[in-house]
Amino acid sequence: MTRREKQALIDKGHLLPLMEEFYTIQGEGFHKGTAAYFVRIGGCDVGCHWCDVKESWLPELHPATETTKIVENAVKYSDIIVVTGGEPLTWDMGPLTEQLKAKGVQTHIETSGAYKLTGEWDWICLSPKKMKLPTQEVYEKAHELKCIIYNKDDFKFAEEQASKVNKDCILYLQPEWSKRDKMMPQIVDFVMANPKWKVSLQTHKYLNIP
């Protein structure tokens, strides 16, 4: 296969830069505590300074993998498949989710929403970033909004983002892991004063699992 042919398959979503895949417990948000199979796709140019998976940023570091192989492996483990990154919407998610749905599994995505929404999703977790704001379509279709709280200015950003999502979207505030001891008391106070919000924790880190 030539480089051009390979790139054409990547552009169409038939090949994806697969960083890692693993069966674990969803640690965050609405589905926390639920067993799920995670597919981490490489490639992200949003550039969060506190990102805990910076090795996912460069897609060329991860093997371009056939979506059929990703699907065949994923459905062996769970009927809930979580696609994360990196930023999975960097790529066309249509072929991947079409094949997953054909297998009868639930498709979840964790995204910053900064790119065009592709694919068929049962659950969209939107975690917006200041550097590249979500598209209007993702705001309208998100099932949960998860805002990361690194400092006190992030509460204002969270409220701005909450005003843009649909009325049924569940609102979460989650402390950035390295700042959790400092920010958690502030998050607790904020949620008690603004009960439309809920607290999300990275429970998988407390459980010491992926």
User: CA torsion, points 174, 117, 160, 106, in degrees to nearest 10?
Assistant: -40
Q: According to the annotation, is 129 in a ligand binding site?
A: yes
The predicted pLDDT at position 49 comes to 75
Q: According to the annotation, is 48 in a ligand binding site?
A: yes
The pTM for the full model equals: 0.94
Average pLDDT over residues 90-114: 98
Confidence band, pLDDT 50/70/90 cuts, at residue 197: very high
Query: For the segment 40-99, what is each residue's pLDDT rounded down to a tens digit?
Result: 999 998 887 778 788 888 888 999 999 999 999 999 999 999 999 999 999 999 999 999
Q: According to the annotation, is 27 in a ligand binding site?
A: yes
- Scanning 86-202, the segments in alpha helix (DSSP H) are 94-102, 136-141, 153-162, 180-193
Instruction: Give 9's Cβ-side CA count (13 Å radius).
Output: 14
Asked whether the predicted pLDDT for residue 7 surpasses 80, the reply is yes
Output the DSSP codes for 26-87.
Answer: --SSTTTT-EEEEEEEP---S--TT-S-GGGS-GGGS-EEEHHHHHHHHTTT-SEEEEESS-
Q: According to the annotation, is 147 in a ligand binding site?
A: no
Q: According to the annotation, is 125 in a ligand binding site?
A: no
Q: According to the annotation, is 180 in a ligand binding site?
A: no
